[in-house]
Amino acid sequence: SSKLDVPEALTFDDVLLRPKESTVEPDEADLSTRVSRNVDLNVPILSAAMDTVTTSELAIEMARQGGLGVIHRNMDDDRMVHEITQVKRADELIIRDVVTAEPEQTVRDVDALMETEGVSGAPVVNDDDEVLGIISGTDIRPYLEVGERDEVQEAMTDEVITAPEDVTAREALELMYEHKIERVPVVDEQNRLTGLVTMQGILQRREYNNAARDDEGRLLCGVAVGPFSTERAIKADEAGANVLFIDCAHAHNRNVVEGAKEIKESVDADVVVGNIGTREAAEDLVGFADGLKVGIGPGSICTTRVVSGAGMPQITAVSQVADVASQHDVPVIADGGIRYSGDAIKAIAAGADAVMLGSYFAGTDEAPGRVITMNGKKYKQYRGMGSVGAMKGGDSEENRYLKEEPDEEEYVPEGVEAAKPYKGSLASELHQLTGGMQSGMGYVGAETIPEFKERAEFVRVSSAGQAESHAHDVVITDEAPNYSPE
Ligand code: RVP
């Protein structure tokens, strides 16, 4: 066969979902999914492992909204462990960084301490961490005018209600209700303080009733690691990351596959491997990977296809990988190129179980970096991890596009440095994204993601059809929250 006898590959704008008879109202469509063999999400959405997108701040909000943040790897090991810990602790029932008071401290000192730490009460412990009492603003108030030099042990409540390590939210609430208190110290068998449960913490958790949590109720956390960083992967695993993402621009590479296998054998967390874009790559990885991530060149800031001449349009890439992965019950994540909610649900129709986005979230409050103003409009920085800035600017040698450490003028970047319009809160962006995806499920008549994957069919769109899809022949007067023309 001739070199020019070539197959066609399609991307988002080449296809549309074929409308089908439906009994599903969009707001009834259930977006829950599996991101890797052992990890479920309530919303099939991940934030990209990029240094202008995901650190703990955005990852916390992603998990609270039911999705998953994947912490980037342009940082050293200690910082990575810190970032993971922040996510795992964010909504923990039992607070571990407890502000404590000592019995001989003065009431005045404790009052000042509580003020600076922003807490309204503190367990009182001795040198062995044994709980002697608890002191709150209410206990302190009568002392402030007349007895602020008195010792804490005078003012504290010494009949303190404590709870064991395995206390549940319900049990803690019952204790608080029964004793009319707002915080319960958690102790071990020797009555030593190990943590604290607060009413405020429990109520805050209730607010996020769709959050993606582990068995102990902590928020789920993903993190990117290099294919040859087994030590680092073990640290991420021990810090509590639930899913490790082997982060590589071309994972269908013998050495990368070997590296990823070694990591998989060394950790308890699920290991998702990527990126790939072909059936053959999927076949080489399904044997051990807990998930496959697809995307060779679709990213908004990515120039891989132009620089290297290689790539695979994303709808075809996802569908090829999903063909193989679905036979082995391995979830697939479509990573990159998603501009609208319609693209996200098309990726799922092509066979993905979840989608990963960078540009969509880069303009939000929770993304790292500050708001910049150009020509009176607000933006936030967004750069490819293969851009010169990201390759130079990381705190470690961890970078998936960096072969060795060249001088600055020798970099061959595969990404650009850019900016995204400032967007406000991540929650409102996610609301638009999930709402649009649910609409897509409604048009296809599917109530769940697995049903949707089964039922969805594409039609091929011509460039005339593509022009018809967008707002056309009008001047837009008020920008919609989920649409801006390219
Ligand atoms: P997008 O959502 O279209 O902005 O794409 C984000 C994805 O682009 C990332 O998850 C990653 O796979 C890819 N990426 C990140 N940096 C670069 C690059 O510099 N080429 N590409």
**Domain residues of the chain, as ranges?**
12-91+211-469, 107-197
In this predicted structure, the answer to whether residue 411 has a pLDDT above a threshold of 90 is no
Active site residues: 302, 400
pLDDT of residue 394: 66
Q: What pLDDT sits at residue 484?
A: 85
Q: What percent of the chain has pLDDT over 90?
A: 84
Distance of CA 40 to the CA centre of its chain: 13
Answer yes or no: is 385 a known binding residue. Answer: yes
- pLDDT score for 263: 98
Which DSSP helix (H) or strand (E) runs through 359? helix 359-362
Q: What is the mean pLDDT of residues 298-327?
A: 97
Tokens 């810190």: give the residue.
Answer: 82
pLDDT at 81: 97
Q: Give the pLDDT of residue 93.
A: 87
Distance (angstroms) between ligand 1 centre and the Cα of 378 equals: 22
For residue 408, give the DSSP letter: G
CATH class, domain 12-91+211-469, is alpha beta
**Would you state the pLDDT for residue 410?**
81
Q: Is the CB of 294 within 6 Å of ligand 1?
A: no
Residues shown for the chain: 486
Tokens linked to 293? 């991530």
Query: 98 CA distance to ligand 1 centroid (A)?
Result: 39
Q: Give the atom of ligand 1 at the shortest distance from the alpha carbon of 339.
A: 3
Task: Name 104's Cβ contacts closer than 8 Å, sequence gap at least 6.
Answer: 151, 152, 153
Match domain 107-197 to its CATH number in 3.40.50.150, 3.10.580.10, 3.60.21.10, 2.70.180.20: 3.10.580.10
- Judge contact between 160 and 185, C-beta under 8 A: yes
pLDDT tens track for 148-205: 889 999 999 989 999 999 999 899 999 999 999 999 999 999 999 999 999 988 888 8
pLDDT of residue 147: 83
* pLDDT tens digits, 12-58: 999 999 999 999 999 999 999 999 999 999 999 999 999 999 999 99
Let me know: does 7 contact 429? Beta carbons within 8 Å: no
pLDDT averaged over every residue in the chain:
94
pLDDT at 408 over 80: no
Average pLDDT over residues 266-282: 98
Task: Specify the residue with its C-alpha closest to ligand 1, atom 8.
Answer: 299
From 58, 83, 41, select the one nearest 232 (Cα to Cα). 83
Sort 405 into a burial class: Cβ within 10 Å, 0-12 / 13-18 / 19+.
Answer: exposed
- Greater confidence (405 vs 310) lies with 310
414 is in an annotated binding site: yes
357 CB under 6 A from ligand 1? yes
The ipTM of this complex is 0.99
- Is the CB of residue 300 below 6 angstroms from any atom belonging to ligand 1? yes
Q: Distance, CA 48 to ligand 1 centroid (Å)? A: 7
Atom of ligand 1 nearest to the CA of 48: 10
This prediction has a pTM of 0.89
* Average pLDDT over every residue of 284-302: 97
The pairing of strands 417-421 and 222-225 is unpaired
61 is in an annotated binding site: no
pLDDT digits (tens, 9 = 90+) for 203-247: 888 889 999 999 888 999 999 999 999 999 999 999 999 999 999
Q: Is 299 in the pocket of ligand 1 (CB under 6 A)?
A: yes
Helices 254-266 and 230-239 sit at what angle, rounded to 10 degrees? 40
Q: Region 358-363: what's the mean pLDDT?
A: 97
Q: What is the pLDDT of residues 62-112, one digit of tens each?
A: 999 999 999 999 999 999 999 999 999 898 889 888 999 999 999 999 999
Does the beta carbon of 74 sit less than 6 angstroms from any atom of ligand 1? Answer: no
